[in-house]
Amino acid sequence: MSTSSETRTSAGTTTVRAPAPVRGTRLTLGAATLGRPDATALADVDLDVAPGEILTVVGPSGCGKSTLLRTLAGLLPVLAGTVEQDGRRIEGPAADRSLVFQEDAPLPWRTLRANVELPLAVQGLPRGERRRQAESWLDRVGLADRSQQLPHRVSGGQRQRAQLARALAPRPRAVLMDEPFGALDAQTRAGMQDLLVEVLHGTGATVVFVTHDVDEALFLGDRVALLGSGRLTALREVPRPRDRTAHDDPARVALRREVLTSLST
């Protein structure tokens, strides 16, 4: 069943038909050691990411953030302990877990729409249906008027929007994001953060979002996980409501200070 939702895009407010929500998935690590046999990145990690949650992950460079994502994606085997999705061991990549990198990587010879259609083609959708769904997702991210453009003809922020549409079009149950907005300027980055929250609303997807930006972590995350010294050092609830202007909220100020301290140790 499909549902309609009103989505605000850069071109204004338009009503588009959004896909029905997927069922969120639970990601769990139990006493997990992550990395490679010759280079352990994280040890003894216990983590439970609830269905539909946005978990942001923060830590200094080299602390194992990307290793965590790649393990959850099934690209790296766990060295010890368990890594599971809904109680089943993750043993390799799966179509219902989507991985998004910082570098936008559209196929340069395909239009934005054709890039978004690609994972739908892999799923075996008929051409007309995958075109309809790709156009719907491009509309949701404010690129309806750019669907026939090649990637080099649009801005970096627009390519990231297209990458977000491509990641969500196949309706994954988990979206794993590795500093996807890190290369964007501050204004474009804030716009992408707003867009991500807006587009994810109602999808049901579970999100693990790696970032080195403290304010990004606190704006996006329902919880924030702090990594350091080869460990998961803390897991904190983020005060709500989600508000960029709540700089004086005591709970938010205290959490921001704790996250900043974790980055300097």
pLDDT at 21: 59
Q: Is residue 86, in this structure, part of any structural domain at all?
A: yes
d(CA 127, CA 62): 43
pTM over 0.75: yes
Which has the closest alpha carbon to 73: 194, 261, 182, 206? 206
What is the pLDDT at residue 2? Answer: 35
Paired residues of 36 in beta bridges: 39
**Domain-located, residue 155:** no
In a domain, 129, yes or no: no
For residue 265, what pLDDT is reported?
66
pLDDT tens-digit series, residues 159-212? 988 998 999 889 999 999 999 888 788 888 888 898 898 888 778 899 999 998
Cα dist from 102 to 1, 43, 164, 186, whole Å: 33, 25, 11, 15
Task: Say how far apart CA 153 and CA 98 lie, in whole Å.
Answer: 26
Low-confidence stretches of the chain (pLDDT beneath 50): 1-18
Residue 10's pLDDT is: 43
Residue-range definition of the domain harbouring residue 17:
3-106+173-263
Q: What is the rounded distance in angstroms from the CA atom of residue 199 to the CA atom of residue 74?
A: 25
Confidence at residue 12, expressed as pLDDT on a 0 to 100 scale: 45
- pLDDT for the residue numbered 156: 85
CB atoms near residue 256 (< 10 Å): 17
In a domain, 164, yes or no: no
Q: Is residue 163 part of a domain?
A: no
136 falls within a domain: no
CATH number at residue 55: 3.40.50.300
- Cα 58–chain centre separation: 14
Residue 67 and residue 42 in contact, taking contact as beta carbons nearer than 8 Å? yes
Query: Judging by beta carbons within 10 Å of its beta carbon (0-12, 13-18, 19+), is residue 248 exposed, middle or buried?
Result: exposed
77 found inside a domain: yes
CA distance 187 to 195: 12
User: Residue type at 135?
Assistant: E
Specify the pLDDT at position 240.
85
Domain count, the chain: 1
Instruction: Return the pLDDT at 122.
Output: 87
In a domain, 54, yes or no: yes
Give the per-residue pLDDT at 22: 64
pLDDT of residue 182: 82
Residue 195: phi, psi to the nearest 5?
A: -65, -40
The per-residue pLDDT for range 137-170, each reduced to its tens digit, is 999 888 999 999 999 999 888 898 899 899 988 9
Contacts 24+ apart (CB under 8 A), 256-260: 256/214, 256/215, 256/218, 258/226, 258/234, 259/58, 259/214, 259/217, 259/218, 259/224, 259/226, 260/214
